[in-house]
Chains A and B, each alone.
Chain A
Amino acid sequence: MVHTKEVSAPPATPSALQDACLTAFRWMLLARTAEEKIANLYRGGKIIGGVFLGKGQEAVSAALGIALREGDIFAPLIRDQAGRFAFGEALLDFTRTYIGSRLGPMRGRDGNIHRGRPRAGQLAMISHLGAMIPTVAGALMARRFQGLTGAVGATCIGEGGTSTGAFHEGLNLAAVEKLPLVVVVANNQYAYSTPNDRQFACERLEDKAAGYGIDGHSVEGTDLVACVTVLGQAVARARAGHGPQLVVASLLRLVGHGEHDDASYVDPRLRQGPVGRDCLKLAEQHFLRAGWCDAETLRQWQGDAHEQVEAAVTTTMREPLPDPNQEDWCALSSRHLIDGFAAE
């Protein structure tokens, strides 16, 4: 079992950095293992709807997840399974939502990566990109109204999502209100199939931060140590009252947009270049080289992750599916205000 380690400040010492990276790595490993399992089930026709994987983006996602702590607010996007686990999402929430178990948090009403437990600070994304930025900002405004300080809100987006009006409106509002918000942009080179030269014209996405009057950071998203360091600093700056932080991680999505997509449009030079490296493999190599752990330990962690995932899938497969006859088909929480005619 992976244990949550509270990392609330940027790793200040070499041993703290080492601990943080090892913790993040185990969430990355669990996410990669869980997602590969779901992809296999998808190929076997066992998953209804799309499957969207974070392969290649685990380092930046996990680095954000471990920098957050209980009481923070996190609105992940579609490639943030590592960050979700690191922030506290149960593995069963993942398997139940993908497999459609009635016992999952979405109860068959929504699927795959559209899941969350908002009251636990795990916001459930909608598909419309940028929408979660003002939502996290509003949650932080609510904390401030209530005199609650010390919490950070974080959300993730891709480079494609930076083109939306919601991204601009949300980031600007957060800047005006000087909220402790961290927005992480995974620049994975393609928005579905659209390459960056058809998406934005600025040289560096992090330069947008200056336009909002907020801090901007950039990081190599393939490098776990760099991600843990930079995300730790960004979260700590937000927590210390320095306002919104925009972090741009350069990397490559190592899979299709979804499992239905073979990503044949990806330029092979990108795959062979620095952004195309696998962050998990790089992290393993670094750990072994630096003597942070040995090969036997890595194998043991892989075995642990595999066992956890198999157990969660086995449990979920035995669970009841949603039942249209038991579904209450009521979209309101105020049942007395349901439109009677429409409900018939």
Chain B
Amino acid sequence: MITYLEAIREAQAKALADDPRVYIHGQDVGNFGGAFKATKGLAKEFPGRVLDAPISEDAIIGAAIGAAIEGLRPIVEMQFADFSTVGFNQIVNHAATLHWRTNVPCPIVIRLPSGGTAGGGPFHSQSMEAIYAHYPGLIVMTPATVEDAYSMLLEAVSIDDPVVFCEHKYLYYHLKAAALPTEAVPTGKARIARMGRDATIVTYSAMVHEALACAEELATEGWEIEVIDLRSIKPLDTDTVLASVARTGRLLAVGEAWPWGGVTAEIVARVATDGFGLLDAPPKRLNAKDTPVPYHPNLWGTHRPTARTIAVAMRDLLRS
């Protein structure tokens, strides 16, 4: 069995082995192997190509941009997605604008260990995907499976544009697969994680698994819920979402991020704009509460959507 975290490690090992232009830069990623061990053993296996960085997120991203201009393909690890705000300027104002301004591509991968875990608290739990997706010039990946963690990270390295790779910390150890994939669905294509005919849940990352658990529970009540895993939120596969809503007539968009704006708002806006006539009921959204992410599990477990709260929202939607 291979975990989501091991898949990320293996994808980086393969990228380093296959392409001499790839290197890894980040805090504690060298001999220590990273705060989560996503680069375990890579510094030894690829001498001089996996470098510890000072605690300087701005400089780490800025340096990656300079290296990309010179033709390299850096992978940088932000120790937690939350800390990427210190490098925010370089990501959104420099990396994201470089190709458009100068016609020189900026192939960098920024790995963001994202999302909540019990005990993480306000500064080690954030879901930053929507804020990066807002900026033109960035690709934002949000893999929900071991297979996608592996194949999408490899694809991210091959893409000529900056990729913000939101890997979910809760899935690091919880999620396992029998083997690494040999085939990959290209980025930009959503996946129907479960077929259904009564309503559609559109979600991504760790919430895919909460949505699947919700669908399983509602199946015992006779409902068939379709679950769409977006895989990447930018580009966002609107066609697959609309096709699903055309079949089910009901939409619930679920995200672990905060409610104001963001991915769920974008999904509802797109369906309302291009698929209003497909809807049999007003579309719904479910997000985390509009507070910082709490530390204690008693609070955290209620702060973010879960299979239970998704089911409550879904029963509401099915009744409307």
Contacts and interface: CB of A to CB of B under 8 A. Distances in A.
Contacts of A132: 62
Interface stretch (B66-74, B209-217, B278-286): B66-74
A166 B137 contact: no
B54 interface: yes
A110 interface: yes
A118 B94 contact: no
Contact of A340 (B54, B65, B161, B235): B235
- Of A105, A116, A117, A334, the most chain B CB neighbours within 10 A belong to A334
B145 interface: no
Given A116-B102, A331-B136, A333-B105, A173 B59 contact: yes
Interface stretch (A140-148, A235-243, A253-261, A312-320): A140-148
Contacts of B94: 126, 128, 131, 135
A142 B161 contact: no
Contacts of B93: 126-128, 131
- Of A114, A118, A128, the most chain B CB neighbours within 10 A belong to A118
B180 to A, nearest CB: 23
Contact of B54 (A73, A173, A341): A173
12 contacts: A73-B66, A110-B101, A128-B89, A134-B66, A134-B90, A137-B62, A141-B67, A142-B67, A145-B23, A166-B58, A330-B100, A331-B136
Contact of A142 (B56, B71, B101): B71
Contacts of B96: 331
A210 interface: no
B175 interface: no
Contact of B49 (A138, A145, A341): A145
A172 B56 contact: yes
Given A106-B101, A116-B102, A135-B94, A332 B137 contact: yes
Contacts of B70: 138-139, 142-143, 146
Interface residues of A, number: 49
Interface residues of B, number: 52
B59 A134 contact: yes
Interface of A: 73, 105-106, 109-110, 114, 116-119, 123-124, 126-128, 130-143, 145-146, 165-166, 169-170, 172-173, 176, 330-334, 336-341
B97 A126 contact: yes
Given A332-B137, A334-B159, A339-B236, A139 B67 contact: yes
Contacts of B72: 142, 145-146
B79 interface: no
Contact of A166 (B53, B68, B89, B235): B89
Interface in B219-238: 234-236, 238
A83 to B, nearest CB: 19
B265 interface: no
A177 to B, nearest CB: 8
B64 interface: yes
Nearest to A114: B101
For the residues of B in contact with A, the DSSP-based class is helix
A118 B100 CA distance: 13
A339 B235 contact: yes
Given A134-B58, A169-B54, A331-B99, A337 B63 contact: no
B229 to A, nearest CB: 17
Given A166-B62, A341-B274, 15 more contacts: A116-B102, A126-B94, A128-B89, A128-B94, A134-B58, A135-B65, A135-B69, A135-B94, A141-B63, A142-B70, A166-B89, A173-B54, A173-B63, A333-B105, A339-B234
Contact of B188 (A110, A136, A336): A336
- Of A117, A145, A146, the most chain B CB neighbours within 10 A belong to A145
Contacts of A169: 54, 56-59, 62
Contacts of B188: 336-337
The 9 closest A-B pairs by CB, nearest first: A138-B66, A134-B62, A138-B63, A142-B70, A139-B66, A169-B56, A169-B59, A331-B136, A134-B59
Interface of B: 23, 48-49, 53-54, 56-72, 74, 86, 89-90, 93-94, 96-102, 104-105, 136-137, 139, 159-161, 187-188, 234-236, 238-239, 270, 274
A145 B137 contact: no
A333 B99 contact: yes
Contacts of B99: 331-333
Nearest to A168: B56
A196 to B, nearest CB: 24
Contacts of A73: 66
Contacts of A139: 66-67, 69-70
A123 B89 CA distance: 17
Contacts of A118: 69, 98, 102, 104
- Of B53, B58, B74, the most chain A CB neighbours within 10 A belong to B58
A334 B53 CA distance: 29
A114 B94 CA distance: 12
A138 B64 contact: yes
Given A169-B54, A169-B59, A138 B67 contact: yes
A333 B139 CA distance: 11
Contacts of A123: 66, 69
- Of A134, A138, A333, the most chain B CB neighbours within 10 A belong to A138
B63 A105 contact: no
A7 B62 CA distance: 29
- Of A117, A166, A170, A341, the most chain B CB neighbours within 10 A belong to A341
A166 B102 CA distance: 22
Contacts of B105: 333
